[in-house]
Amino acid sequence: MIFDTHAHYDDRQFDTDRTELLNGMPDAGVGTIVNVGASLNGCRRAMELAGEFPFVYAAVGVHPDEVGFLNEETFSQLEGWCYEEKVVAVGEIGLDYYWDTESHDLQKEWFIRQLDLARRTGLPVNIHSRDAAEDTFRIMKEHAEGIPGIVHCFSGSRELAAEYVKLGFYIGIGGVVTFKNGKKLKQVAREIPLSRIVLETDCPYLAPEPYRGKRNQSGYIRYVAEEIARLKGISCEEVIEQTELNAREVYRV
Ligand code: NI
């Protein structure tokens, strides 16, 4: 069944129908969802959702745009959450030079500290990188060796994807691969072995064609799997099955 490795059902866009939508997931072919925290409050909500739905798990971490809220006290709170039963990863963490909400130094500092947190607590990581490919890769190379993880919503070159695979990471692919202007990601999906790919929504954002621009949800991952299958010349079922195995391996669920 479909394994959505990166979703944000805590988002306000799901306030009107969250329970109904999530209850319908098994019938839509979705077997497992990891709800990823981006802010401290998002982490709390992610853990609540994991407590409410048996097939939902939580990742806890602070997104680069939100690291201004981290201090010793909130960081130790975050560390405590890592030991909660349904918390399966530290994420999403990384660098975002597109929104540039916080200084690069502060982003890097908390990125490295959260990578160390993952190592200490034995959890994999979920990595966010936007317009910061070089710095993200350098930090991962220096600080993430041996930590399993996913580079979420991968947007880099095929060469960079290959480098991450060499380091042992999985490449997270979502709706963008179905876009007409998603050429670079199509190339990545074609060349990276299926054994290193995981599927994701990043919902409510980045809905695949034919829902581009609409609110995204885990059931739409089928369109992502179909496109990867087309690019690789294999069946959609094989893509869904293998990526589920990959996701189970990295998140250990
Ligand atoms: Ni996200």
* Locus of tokens 């695949």: 208
Burial of 185 (0-12, 13-18, 19+ CB in 10 A): buried
- Predicted confidence at residue 250, as pLDDT, reads 98
pLDDT digits (tens, 9 = 90+) for 159-195: 999 999 999 999 999 999 999 999 999 999 999 999 9
C-alpha 233 to ligand 1 mean position (Å) = 29
Average pLDDT over residues 16-39: 97
Question: How confident is residue 111, by pLDDT bands cut at 50, 70 and 90?
Answer: very high
Average pLDDT over residues 217-227: 98
- Predicted confidence at residue 38, as pLDDT, reads 92
C-alpha 145 to ligand 1 mean position (Å) = 23
C-alpha 92 to ligand 1 mean position (Å) = 7
Average pLDDT over residues 207-227: 98
Task: List alpha helices for the chain, DSSP H.
Answer: 18-23, 40-52, 72-81, 104-121, 133-143, 158-166, 183-191, 221-232, 236-251
Q: Which of 141, 142, 202, 138 is nearest to 176 (CA)?
A: 202
What span, in angstroms and rounded, lies between the C-alpha atoms of 182 and 225? 15
Q: In whole angstroms, what separates CA 16 from the centre of its chain?
A: 24
C-alpha 98 to ligand 1 mean position (Å) = 14
C-alpha 137 to ligand 1 mean position (Å) = 18
- Predicted confidence at residue 144, as pLDDT, reads 96
- Predicted confidence at residue 222, as pLDDT, reads 98
- Predicted confidence at residue 110, as pLDDT, reads 98
- Predicted confidence at residue 121, as pLDDT, reads 97
Radius of gyration of the chain (CA): 17
- Predicted confidence at residue 130, as pLDDT, reads 95
Look over the chain and give the mean of its residue pLDDT values, rounded to a whole number.
Answer: 97
- Predicted confidence at residue 231, as pLDDT, reads 98
- Predicted confidence at residue 55, as pLDDT, reads 98
C-alpha 202 to ligand 1 mean position (Å) = 5
Average pLDDT over residues 202-212: 97
State percent of the chain over pLDDT 70: 100
C-alpha 93 to ligand 1 mean position (Å) = 10
Please, are residues 181 and 136 in contact by the beta-carbon 8 Å criterion? no
- Predicted confidence at residue 39, as pLDDT, reads 95
- Predicted confidence at residue 24, as pLDDT, reads 98
Burial of 241 (0-12, 13-18, 19+ CB in 10 A): middle
What span, in angstroms and rounded, lies between the C-alpha atoms of 83 and 162? 32
- Whether domain 2-251 has CATH 3.40.50.720: the reply is no
What span, in angstroms and rounded, lies between the C-alpha atoms of 143 and 156? 20
pTM for the full predicted model = 0.97
Average pLDDT over residues 146-168: 96
H or E element that contains 5: strand 2-7
Please, are residues 214 and 199 in contact by the beta-carbon 8 Å criterion? no
- Predicted confidence at residue 95, as pLDDT, reads 97
- Predicted confidence at residue 142, as pLDDT, reads 96
Sheet architecture: strand order including 170-173: 2-7, 30-36, 56-60, 87-96, 125-130, 149-151, 170-173, 197-199
C-alpha 142 to ligand 1 mean position (Å) = 24
